[in-house]
């Protein structure tokens, strides 16, 4: 067995690894990137990521102009070292290349904290016999398809079986309607998002990739369960009611002959007002967190 420094012994990461710890993908990468302190990471991962035949040595590793990319990758590997370092030696297992290769590739450039942590958590779970079953090969692709805000929403859903939502719409005089808020979940009030106005689009994407699901027309029947959620959108409802009242006042002025406008303008406005909104309606619903979504949360959320 090769000699170990005190620092290497204290990390607990070397364990029983091949002395040829610099071989394969990680050996190639770290031979160009790592400082001596990171060599324990190479040794720790040599068995875990036996991917030498799965990915060629990236050309950017040989390119001195990509020092920033190398730095990003090194930082991510240091973070991964910390996560894998807590796994008992006898529990460490190989990561399937279907998970390891695409995830490591993303860690060469991913700097966003939410997405970076999702990739790192996935690799750490896949590296332990106790949690390897949580690491589905579709998960690297799922992380690739979500934004940082969507990662925050998924973290918000951790531990939940469902999430309530309301749909607000205005009813018009001809009994049609216009949706003004599709998925009023309150999530944009309960967690910090970079772009809270995109919440409906975010939830639609989470539906598309299978994290959440819902059945139209079905809602929770517990008494007052939607009241707190409805209260969060009182400003939205008030604004729509103000618009309705304004249009009603305009229609009243036209009908009474008090409106000050040209005849052509009055005709055009009157026609527009024929199908104006008359009230704000609300429908109830809820999202289920799917079994696939719960598995993703277990694997990729801290």
Q: Based on the domain organization, do 43 and 117 belong to the same domain?
A: yes
In the chain, what is the straight-line distance between the N-terminal and C-terminal CA atoms, in Å? Answer: 35
Q: Based on the domain organization, do 118 and 179 belong to the same domain?
A: no
On whether residue 149 sits in a domain, the answer given is: no
On whether residue 252 sits in a domain, the answer given is: yes
Q: Based on the domain organization, do 94 and 188 belong to the same domain?
A: no
Please, what sign has the CA dihedral across residues 235, 236, 237, 242? positive
> What confidence score (pLDDT) does residue 184 get?
96
On whether residue 225 sits in a domain, the answer given is: yes
> What confidence score (pLDDT) does residue 223 get?
85
- Please give the residue range of the domain that contains residue 71: 6-144
> What confidence score (pLDDT) does residue 162 get?
96
Of 117, 75, 129, 124, the residue nearest 99 (C-alpha): 124
On whether residue 24 sits in a domain, the answer given is: yes
Q: Based on the domain organization, do 176 and 136 belong to the same domain?
A: no
Q: What is the number of domains present in the chain?
A: 2
> What confidence score (pLDDT) does residue 13 get?
32
Q: Based on the domain organization, do 205 and 122 belong to the same domain?
A: no
Answer for the pair 124, 84: CB distance below 8 angstroms, yes or no. Answer: yes
Q: Based on the domain organization, do 94 and 167 belong to the same domain?
A: no
Q: Based on the domain organization, do 56 and 177 belong to the same domain?
A: no
On whether residue 261 sits in a domain, the answer given is: yes
> What confidence score (pLDDT) does residue 66 get?
66
Show pLDDT as tens, one digit a residue, over the chain (302 residues): 444 444 333 333 323 333 344 445 455 444 444 444 344 444 445 555 544 433 445 555 555 556 777 788 888 888 888 888 788 878 888 888 899 889 988 988 899 999 999 999 999 999 899 999 999 999 999 999 999 999 999 999 999 999 999 999 988 877 788 899 999 999 999 999 999 999 999 999 999 999 999 987 899 999 899 999 999 999 999 998 898 888 777 777 666 666 666 665 655 666 666 667 788 999 999 999 999 999 999 999 98
Q: Based on the domain organization, do 256 and 172 belong to the same domain?
A: yes
Q: Based on the domain organization, do 222 and 101 belong to the same domain?
A: no
Answer for the pair 85, 124: CB distance below 8 angstroms, yes or no. Answer: no
Of 148, 147, 149, 181, the residue nearest 165 (C-alpha): 181
The pTM is what? 0.77
Q: Based on the domain organization, do 249 and 277 belong to the same domain?
A: yes
Of 139, 113, 114, the residue nearest 125 (C-alpha): 139
On whether residue 88 sits in a domain, the answer given is: yes
Q: Based on the domain organization, do 73 and 175 belong to the same domain?
A: no
């Amino acid at each position: 067995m090769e000699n170990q420094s005190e620092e290497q012994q204290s990390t607990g990461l070397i364990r029983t690894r091949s002395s040829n710890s610099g071989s394969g993908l990680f050996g190639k990468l770290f031979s160009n990137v790592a400082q001596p302190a990171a060599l324990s990471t190479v040794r720790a991962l040599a068995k875990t990521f036996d991917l030498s035949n799965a990915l060629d040595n990236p050309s950017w590793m040989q390119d001195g102009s990509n020092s920033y990319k190398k730095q990003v990758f090194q930082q991510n590997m240091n973070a991964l070292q910390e996560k894998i370092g807590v796994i008992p030696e006898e529990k460490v297992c190989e990561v399937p290349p279907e998970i390891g290769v695409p995830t490591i590739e993303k860690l060469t450039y991913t700097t966003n904290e939410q997405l970076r942590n999702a990739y790192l958590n996935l690799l750490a779970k896949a590296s332990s016999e106790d949690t390897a079953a949580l690491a589905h090969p579709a998960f690297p692709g799922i992380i690739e398809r979500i934004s940082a805000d969507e990662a925050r929403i998924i973290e918000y859903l951790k531990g939940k079986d469902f999430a309530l939502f309301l749909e607000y719409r205005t009813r018009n005089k001809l009994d049609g309607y216009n949706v003004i808020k599709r998925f009023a979940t309150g999530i944009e009030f309960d967690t910090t998002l970079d772009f809270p106005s995109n919440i409906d689009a975010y939830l639609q994407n989470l539906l598309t990739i299978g994290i959440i699901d819902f059945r139209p027309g079905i809602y929770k029947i517990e008494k007052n369960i939607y009241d707190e959620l409805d209260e969060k959108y009182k400003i939205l409802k008030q604004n729509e009611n103000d618009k309705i009242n304004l249009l009603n006042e305009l229609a009243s002025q036209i009908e009474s002959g008090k409106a000050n406008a040209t005849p052509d303008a009055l005709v055009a406005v009157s026609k527009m007002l024929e199908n104006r909104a008359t009230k704000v309606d609300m429908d109830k619903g809820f999202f289920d967190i799917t079994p696939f979504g719960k598995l993703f949360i277990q694997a990729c959320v801290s």
